[in-house]
Amino acid sequence: MSELNLVLLGPPGSGKGTQGERLNEDLRLPYYATGDILRAAVRDETELGRTAKGYMDAGDLVPDDVIVGVIAEALDSEAARDGFILDGFPRTTPQAEALDAKLDQLGRAVGTVLLIDVSDEEVVRRLGGRRTCVENGHVFHVEFNPPEREGVCDIDGSELITRDDDNPETIRNRLAQYHEKTEPLVGYYDQRGVLRRLDGERDPDEVAEEIRRTLATMRLEQDEDV
């Protein structure tokens, strides 16, 4: 069976993290979420974190060379040999080209890109009510996916907070960045025949079910082509 080299694409708040967590559990593949990696670096006050913080707080993208190195190193690891899930990377055309170059070097390629489609209005509703756990980044929503105990993560018991970049002004800039810099990747991957669009404005369980069906169909098609 072919390896699963999977990219989750979509605007901020489309549910990449929510679905990524589920996929991580289902598929047992390494899951690299660049936002989580960068937030951990900011928290640990590493050099990467110090570089990234100002960009993240403003809702801007960190420079390509900063993030490309992080992902290239991850994909070189033994853990990613049988496949991987990328969430939040690539986010620009130069990042997508760097990813292709890295995978090409390893004799591999991006096999599946899932675009989770959500309107700007829905993004604003979702991010305003999002709560994120401080320890491991588990994601909840005060209305759509509330934790059992207010302010406490169901999974690891740590505190739930509102992310620094989930304020109205920063959300607007993150959306603008998405439309300008990340949306061109829809065409980039569509041309390569690996893109599948999903309606992200449904219940998370329904989105997860469609992802399962889509992956199963794509794997069958890819195995037939081998």
Residues of this chain that bind ligand AP5 (CB under 6 A)? 10, 12-18, 34-35, 38, 55-56, 59-62, 67, 88-89, 91, 95, 126, 130, 139-141, 144-145, 165, 174, 200, 202-204, 207
Q: Which is nearer to ligand AP5, 73 or 223 (CB)?
A: 73
Catalytic residues: 16, 91, 130, 163, 174
Tell me the H-state helices in 3-154: 16-27, 34-43, 47-58, 64-75, 93-105, 120-128
Tokens in use for 200? 């992200």
Taking the least distance from each CB to ligand AP5, the nearer of 17 and 30 is: 17
DSSP state of 88: S
Point out the residue whose Cβ comes nearest to ligand AP5.
35
Query: What are the residues facing 79 on neighbouring strands?
Result: none
The answer to whether residues 188 and 90 touch, using CB atoms and an 8 Å cutoff, is no
When the beta carbons of 210 and 218 are compared against ligand AP5, the nearer one is: 210
Least distance in angstroms from the C-beta of 223 to ligand AP5: 29
The b-or-e profile of 149-162 (16+ CB within 10 A means b, else e) is eeeebeeeeeebee
Least distance to ligand AP5 from the beta carbon of 60, Å?
A: 6
